Structures are given as structure tokens and as C-alpha cells.
Amino acid sequence: MSNIDLELARQRGNRHSLSGELRERFEQAETGAVRRVRITANPAVAESTGGQHALWMLANLLARQFAVVHEIQIAVARVPLHDGVAHFGKGRDLAETLATTVGLVAGPAVRVSLPGDVQEPADVEACIGAARPASDVPRRFGAVGSGWNVAAGDPGQLPSIVPMDRGALGPYFAACLVAGEVFKLLGGLREGKGRFITSLNLSLWDWAEYPRWEELPAGDWPFGGELPSFYLIGAGAVGQAAAAALTASRQLRGFATVIDGDQIDGEGTNLNRYPLATTRDLGASKATLLGQHLQSTGFGVHTDDRNWPAYAYDPLLPNPRADLAQLEAEYRYRLILSCVDKNPARHAVQNFWPEFIIGASTSDLALAVAGYDMRSPYECLKCANPIEPPGPTIEELTHQLRQLSPLQQEQWACEHGLDQGAVVQHLANPRCGTLGEQEISRFARRGTANDWSVGFVSVAAGTLLGGFAKRCVNGQAVTSSRVFLRLPSW
């Protein structure tokens, strides 16, 4: 695999390789097989703003499937790029932009080729819009999105529509579906679980499937106007995706207070799911990165590099917006986008009893988005997200594992994506500071509900969160509404 840094790919694919099944497949890939994905598009769709939104996000997501995808072949027309499509990686035309985006995300962990380069036969074609089959690609997955709607399945059977607007909700969700199908194919379906999408017509307006594209509701459109001032708490995967979806059309404005105390991992192990972060952002403040993005698209922004509720409890650093500073002095928060990824953090948000919260979360290949109106008698963010029982301490876990045979210890380490030899060696002679202790500590910190995650699920959740937020513009947020979607799982 010349020009592909496999060690770097495995390192940055850590979060989606925590499954023992998938890690084993990654290790088998070292035999030399290159897994190639070819990105194609219906020519008319590729020239549209909505089609380009989908293609940019698709290239972005595929580039983050470290150690699953080794090479991405760009096979789309060199058409002019529309304004606002590329949140980063803008090139001279669409094809160059997609290739540059892949390079910024993956660096040497993924190889990329442009139209005109010699392209080897691909394992799978990822297509945006209705298109005829490629003769040298054995598997094909496609999708198209417009407005609030998305269709997915065989590219030859997709509706022949061209997005006619600048919105990114449908296009981004379409990209998530195609990226998910590629992941399931190359990573492998789990035995007895999952299926590939054959035909799907989905409305993001009412969260329902329909038999035909023509039956999907149009929803409220276009995506213009001004959002009420909001707090975006948690500037990681879901928060970045929500911001990308809200700003892609360049038609929406507002004022955002972005709060997050963490940084982009310096080793890049969370790049697999942060859609606005590239290799240039390693070690950067997540709040600052997301704030800069919002500001560059016309939003007013205030950022804070602390975790909630430290921000709320500090009267010495008020919001620069006088009206918001006055409300904050009274601990009043009208609209919060909750993008944190742990239930204790969600409880900390709810403890301030904001007027309205929109929250999004992911679990395995499922995602949930909900609106919580605190003026209503319905459930709150805490009710919907109870605190999980604490897991065992490192000492308790070590004691439990020492009761197993060395073979069982190896199997346990493999199942949880840990270094088998180091774990077994440590359990035979437990000592502080060993690699085995660090591995067991890493598992204990993330808990039995592990941190397995993939980019396309986080972006799908953030996209839906952005849709919920958009409905606040005209007062259309549904009181205590909730959507739970499970993508056909692998």
C-alpha cells in the first residue's frame, strides 16, 4: 500500500475500531489489500448547490473512515464550485475541492486520485443522484437529498431529481446514508444483524418513510431568516455537524454562545467524527474552532473554553451581548443546543432549567434528537437521559480479569480493542505504569458502554439537530417532540 500510512490510519480509526470484530478485520487488511471507494455523481446534480453539499460531506465522511477506506477516487465533473459548499478545502473546481478535502482530513492515512489519474478498479461506488452503473465496480450505493427529504438505494433506481435550493439538511443526510453503506460493506455486517438499504424515501420534516419520493412532504422552505440567540454546549462531533448544516446555505444568521472546555485530540483519534476539524486543527480548542466557523459565515459569536456549568457560575466573564449578560446574571437561558455526549453533562445543562433545549445524541448506529420545552408538562433532558450505573474501578476490573484463564483474558482484550499481550502480561504480574495497566485503565474510563463511534452517525444527528433549530426561526419547534432513528445497522 504505497503512500498509505497504515499505522496512522489504525491510530486515527481507533474510535470506530473499538469493536473486536472490526479491529480483527483491520489487522487482516495488513496483508496488502487496498479498499477503494469511487465517488461519482449525476452530472446535473453535481452542478447544483445541493448536490455539491452532498458530495463535499460524502468526501469528508469517507476520508474519516480511517483503516476502513484506503483510497478515494474522485470521479465527478470538474464543474465550478458554488459559494458556501466547502467549509474547508476549497479548490479551483468541485473535483479538486473534494480531493483537497480528503487530503486535509486524512493526510497520508488515505490515498486520493482526481479525474484523469489512473484509477484502479474500485470495491464500491458512492454516488450522489440517479446514475447508470459503472462497469468495473461490483457494489454501488447512492442517495440524493433536497430540502427536508432524502432518497437512498441503488443509484439506478433513485428519483431523477436535482436539488433546487441551497439548503444542506437533505443533502448532508444523504451523504451520511451513503457513507454508512460503504462502512457496512467494507467493515462487514455483523452476523445476524443489519441489512443494506435497497430503497428508502425519508422525510426529515416529519421523520417518516414514504413509498415514493413524490409523496414526501415539502416542509417549510427556504432556509433563510434569523435564529433566536442560542447557546451551543459541546463543540464536538454533533455540535460541529449542527453548525455545518445551519451555515451551509449562507442564508441563516443569529448569535451563538459556544461553550466547550476540550481540545481536538493532538493524536487525531477523534478526527474520525469531527466534520469541521482537519489535521491542521490538532490540539485546537473545540469552542474556538467552531466559533471561528460560525463567525466566518455571518453569525455573531461568543466562545468560552470551559465546560458547562463553569461558564454559568462565573460572573466575571459576562457575555458581550448586554441583553444576554443580563439574562445570564439571573441564570436564565432561553435556547440551548445540547451537543454534549455524556448524561452527567446533560443533567448539568438541565439543572439550569432553560426555556427550551434541543438535544442530540448517538448510540451505536442509532441517533436521537429531541426538543424539551420547559413551559410544558412533558419530560425534561434529565428524564430522557438517566445517569448510567458507574462501572467497576481499575482495581475491581483487574481482580475480575485475573479470575479468567490467559486465553479468556486475550479474548476479552480483543473484544474491547485492547493490546492483548500487554493486558495478559499485566494481569500475570500487576504493576503500576505498565502498558497493560494503561490499557485496562483506558477501558475503565470509557466504561462498558464503550466509546465506539463513527462520523456518519454523528453528522446525521447534528444535521437533524440543525433542522430542529431551524424550525425555531418561525416558532415552529414542536413542544417536547422526539425522533429516534436507527440506520440499517451493520
The number of helix segments (H) and strand segments (E) in the chain equals: 17, 16
Name 408's Cβ contacts closer than 8 Å, sequence gap at least 6.
Answer: none
**Closest Cα to residue 70, out of 29, 100, 101, 40?**
29
- Asked if residues 18 and 105 have their Cβ atoms less than 8 Å apart, the reply is no
The answer to whether 6-215 and 225-387+453-486 have equal CATH topology is: yes
Q: CB neighbours (10 Å) of residue 150?
A: 27
pLDDT along the chain (490 residues), means of 10: 77 68 54 84 96 98 94 96 96 97 96 89 95 83 95 94 91 96 85 81 90 91 80 96 94 94 87 94 96 96 94 85 93 94 90 92 82 82 76 76 88 79 88 76 58 85 90 60 58
Residue 480 falls in which region: left (phi positive, over 0), alpha (psi -120 to 50) or beta: left
pLDDT for res 223: 65
How far is residue 353's CA from residue 339's CA, in Å, rounded to a whole number? 16
CATH topology for the 225-387+453-486 domain: Rossmann fold (3.40.50)
> What per-residue string of b and e applies to 57-85 under the rule 16 or more CB within 10 Å gives b?
bbbbbbbbbbbbbbbbbbbbebbebbebb
113 forms bridges with which residues in the sheet?
A: 73
pLDDT for res 119: 84
Domain 6-215 CATH assignment equals 3.40.50.720: yes
pLDDT for res 177: 96
Q: CB neighbours (10 Å) of residue 267?
A: 13
Residue extents of the structural domains in the chain: 6-215, 225-387+453-486, 394-446
How far is residue 226's CA from residue 313's CA, in Å, rounded to a whole number? 28
pLDDT for res 189: 72
